[in-house]
Amino acid sequence: MSNTRKKVLMFGWEFPPVISGGLGVATLGLCKALAPMADVQMVIPKSVPDFSIPHISLIGLNSFTQQELDILFTSENSFYRKHYHQNQHWDINPYTKIPEGEYIHQKFFSVFQEQVKPFEIDDLYAGDVIKKVIEFARIAVQFGLTQEFDIIHAHDWMTFLPAMELKRRTGKPLVLHVHSTEYDRSGPESKNWVYDLEQQGMQEADFIIPVSRYTGKICHTHYGIPTHKIKPVHNGIEAIKPMVRPKPFKEKLVIFFGRITMQKGPSFFVEAARIVLQQYPNVRFVLAGSGDQMYGLIEKIADYGLGDKFSFTGFLNKQKLNELLAIADVYCMPSVSEPFGLSAVEAVQYQLPTLISTTSGAAEVLNGALQFEFWDTHKFAQYIIASLQYEGLKNSVVESNAKSLQSITWEHCAAEVIKVYEELEPLN
């Protein structure tokens, strides 16, 4: 690769301080580490006044005024007509069910018939997310066409539309960063518009960067992407000084944090906890996070008569999460499908023994973690008990994971991404 710094036009959906989970944290970490090596323009739905990142050009589409948009759209693009419009008749009335494919085309039609107006978004994932994704793409494409760049780099399906369109328009190479897939979220039977968009994006990209070999295998096996296009790069994490906080009670504390959804396996955490409490009653369990399984699990725990042994905290900000990690004894990540699992690495920073499912990217980098099949709640439970009872085992897990931390850095991640960029040069 030449010594000239590459200009990267990057698209993200989450970005601090507007985040909902690990995607925003990972995007920020990579951007900051790339800054010394490349010129990065990060285009996101929503930026916050007075928030900036050194050496990163941060463009929130919510900051464009009507006048600025009118200038961008002096000649309306053919984005919709060229790639998404199908000459078919929609017989839409209150009594007909519209197949999803036709419904999505109707959304494109509606968005592209509207006069462009300032992009507004309060909650990144509330309301009609797909309509917001299409509106984001419409403006992001027009903005991108006014910029100079060498590489297009997009993070997850919400940003694939403008990235694909700009590749078609400019011929610039496209890199897709896959932090999570519809297969992870919904299982192997998920074949919907999001899945189709992910597959189309992966097919059109020059390279795909999954956050683990585990996710790379999913891209190959479930999306049909050839292995030569798949370049796994593990996430990193910023070094911290762990918070010190006295525990306010005598019992041991075992924690789960993440979305309370099928993908994250909270039901297996509850089942393992029930087994643990039959043998080791002097322990409490915490589920930190929110999601569609929360109320069902609360009812199940009540049916088991274990309500006094469990706490649900809801979503925790970084400060509250660190306070929880500071008093915990064991961390658990029983995910059904986990592309990486930054939360497991955060727990390692707090010197907690980590119990993680084999179906996770973190299992590839945390050499000391105790691993189990997510469905094997008996083995999971025995690992919890052993981690609480045997100091030697706990210390061994913690020490081995501490060594693994030395290579789990954003600087290492960025260096690997630059290597992928270098392979693009012949395509430029």
- pLDDT digit string, tens, across residues 288-315: 999 999 999 999 999 999 999 999 999 8
What integer pLDDT is reported at residue 312 of this predicted model? 95
- In this structure, the answer to whether residues 389 and 414 fall within a common structural domain is no
pLDDT above 90 for 75: no
Residue carrying structure tokens 């070999």: 213
> Inter-axis angle of helices 129-144 and 160-170, to 10 degrees?
30
Shared domain for 109 and 219, answered yes or no, is: yes
User: Residue 117: which pLDDT band, with cuts at 50, 70 and 90?
Assistant: confident
268 and 401, same domain (yes or no): yes
Nearest of 197, 218, 300, 319 to residue 263 by alpha carbon:
218
Looking at the fold, whether 13 and 155 belong to one and the same domain comes out as yes
Please, which residues have CB within 8 angstroms of residue 426's CB and are 6 or more apart in sequence?
A: none
Report yes or no: 421 and 39 within 8 Å, Cβ to Cβ.
no
60-69, 100-109, 390-399: which is most confident: 390-399
Q: Distance from first CA to last CA of the chain, Å, rounded?
A: 11
Q: Which residue has the tokens 């990235």?
A: 163
Same domain, 181 and 256: no
Phi and psi angles of residue 340, each rounded to the nearest 5 degrees, phi first: -135, -80
Whether pLDDT at 17 is above 50: yes
401 in the same domain as 266: yes
Q: Are residues 256 and 231 in the same domain?
A: no
Residue 357 contacts residue 263 (beta carbons within 8 Å): no
- At residue 420, the 3 state secondary structure works out as helix
For residue 39, what is the domain's CATH number?
3.40.50.2000
Domain membership of residue 270 (yes or no) is: yes
The tokens for 233 are: 């790069």
Task: Please report whether residue 243 resides in a domain.
Answer: no
| pLDDT score of 102 more than 80 | no
List beta partners, residue 355.
332, 370
Residue 87 has pLDDT above 50, yes or no: no
Q: What is the pLDDT of residue 333?
A: 97
Same domain, 363 and 416: no
What is the mean pLDDT of the segment spanning 338-345?
A: 93
Q: At what angle do helices 391-405 and 377-389 cross, to 10 degrees?
A: 100
- Confidence class for position 211, pLDDT limits 50, 70, 90: very high
Q: Mean pLDDT, to the nearest integer, of 159-187?
A: 93
Cα–chain center distance at 249 = 34
pLDDT at 405 over 60: yes
Say how many domains are in the chain.
2
Give the residue numbers spanning the domain of 380.
252-405
Residues 267 and 391 in one domain: yes
Residue 199 lies in a domain: yes
296-301 contacts: CB < 8 A, separation 24 or more? Answer: 297/260, 297/266, 297/267, 297/270, 300/267, 300/270, 301/270
CB 270 within 8 A of CB 294: no
Give yes or no: residues 386 and 417 share one domain: no
Alpha helices, H only, 187-228: 193-204, 213-223
- C-alpha torsion sign, points 32, 34, 40, 44: negative
Whether 210 and 283 share a structural domain: no
